[in-house]
Copies of this chain bind each other. A is one copy, B any other.
Amino acid sequence: MEAAVDAGAERCSIARSLEVLGQKWSLLIVREATWGRTRFAEFRARLGVAPDVLTDRLGRLVDAGILERRPYREDGEREREEYVLTDAGRALLPVLAAMSAWGDEYRPSGFGPAALYADRDSGTPLRLAFVDADGVERDTAEVAVVRGPGARPLA
């Protein structure tokens, strides 16, 4: 799986996102990172991912600017590095929220949502929605996909 796809990545921003996020484990690592996990062993234990694959994915996420290495030291231990989300990584929250909402709706578990999104300060529950330029919500069913400036000229 070279990166994740060629598929018009030059022009398609979804394909470009998938180049870095589309490989197995990548998005789950980001999900774990949003839960505050930072260390190799934590990712490994939580996800059950093979260590060589984890090494590769963490490296790619760092290269893509989604995670960054930060030195840490537990007392009595030598200095090691952990992985923390960058701004670009935190900007993936809508991707995770969208996946989460879809999974809850169309592939429900018996448990209810494991993660919810809320205002950092007030705790008010938040959800993802399409909004217009004024920030007013629109129903997803009313949304159409249209060609943007970067679309390939019609043949």
Residues of A at the B interface (CB closer than 8 Å) are 1, 4-8, 10-22, 24-25, 27-28, 31, 34-35, 46-49, 64-65, 88, 90-107, 109, 111-121, 123-133, 135-138, 140-152
Closest chain B residue to A21, Cβ basis: B99
Contact A132 B141 (CB under 8 A): no
Q: Which of A46, A48, A120 has the most CB of B within 10 A?
A: A120
Interface CB pairs A-B, < 8 A, 12 = A7-B47, A13-B109, A13-B114, A91-B140, A96-B145, A109-B150, A113-B150, A117-B130, A117-B144, A126-B143, A127-B131, A135-B136
Closest chain B residue to A111, Cβ basis: B150
Q: Which of A1, A11, A91, A107 has the most CB of B within 10 A?
A: A107
